[in-house]
Amino acid sequence: MSNFMFFSASVAKMLPNDYVGFTFFIGSMAMMAASAFFFLSLSQFDKKWRTSVLVSGLITFIAAVHYFYMRDYWNAFQESPTFFRYVDWVLTVPLMCLEFYLILKVAGAKQNLLWKMIFLSIIMLVTGYFGETIFSNQAALWGFISGVAYFWIVYEIWLGEASKLAVAAGGDVLASHKILCWFVLVGWAIYPLGYMLGTEGWYTSFLGKGSVDVAYNIADAINKIGFGLVIYNLAVKSTSNVKA
Ligand SMILES: *C/C=C(C)/C=C/C=C(C)/C=C/C1=C(C)CCCC1(C)C
């Protein structure tokens, strides 16, 4: 009897210089850990803050599920999982808009503010998806339209209705709102940069080409987990009997 051994590799070997694969790996773990952290902390907060912290956990949990899939997809095909990337965003970015609304409710935020922000975020993402996929020969144009929606959101939270509500709320809500505003202005700006590294446009001549996925993975970790921690921190400060 011969001693043949049959290996059927169900897992692809990840090379040490595969930064995309590596950041997908770290990303899925970080999103999962963050979700456990937010979910398990829930019971210590006052009722009115639980929804906000629950949404933080849902954002990282939805991302975790997508990251597990995207990590495997990348390992199998060495190709960007663009479609599921955008499915993830279309679910999680509106939930981030919801976070703004939830913390501003104390100052009387109306639902139309929430719907306006969700609408703008969907426009931003759908046009970005067009530019990366079906209309990639006009990526700069679609990226520009997406950018307009993005800056509209930035305007809304920094100077528009949302900012006025934050000032009216004052205290810890105002402070947290300000930090979230910085996340949107600086943390979210990594996405258009990633987009420009991955598509052809006037910017390609000086930016060159790079890995879209590494940029998106780093941005997701910063923004989704960071956002959640700001909300968590606000809930800790606003709940009388919790020690941070
Ligand atoms: C958790 C996921 C988040 C916070 C995703 C945010 C995505 C963006 C802010 C994407 C913005 C884009 C532009 C402003 C222009 C180019 C196309 C996009 C969609 C990458």
CA gap 132, 155 in Å, rounded: 25
In the reported structure, the alpha carbon of residue 44 is separated from the centroid of ligand 1 by a whole-number distance in angstroms of 33
**What is the rounded average pLDDT of the residues 95-117?**
96
Higher-confidence residue of 12 and 205: namely 205
Q: In this structure, are residues 66 and 88 in contact, taking their beta carbons and an 8 Å threshold?
A: yes
Structure tokens at 198: 């991955």
pLDDT value at position 3?
A: 59
CA 163 to chain CA centroid, Å, is: 21
Sign of CA dihedral 53, 55, 57, 60: negative
High-pLDDT (> 70) share of the chain, %: 95
High-pLDDT (> 90) share of the chain, %: 86
CA gap 46, 212 in Å, rounded: 40
Q: In this structure, are residues 198 and 212 in contact, taking their beta carbons and an 8 Å threshold?
A: yes
Question: What is the topology classification, in CATH, of domain 2-7+17-243?
Answer: Rhopdopsin 7-helix transmembrane proteins (1.20.1070)
Ligand 1 atom, smallest distance to 188 CA: 9
Residue 116: pLDDT over 90: yes
Q: Which of 191, 195, 203, 230 best tests ligand 1's pocket when mutated (most atoms within 8 Å of CB)?
A: 191
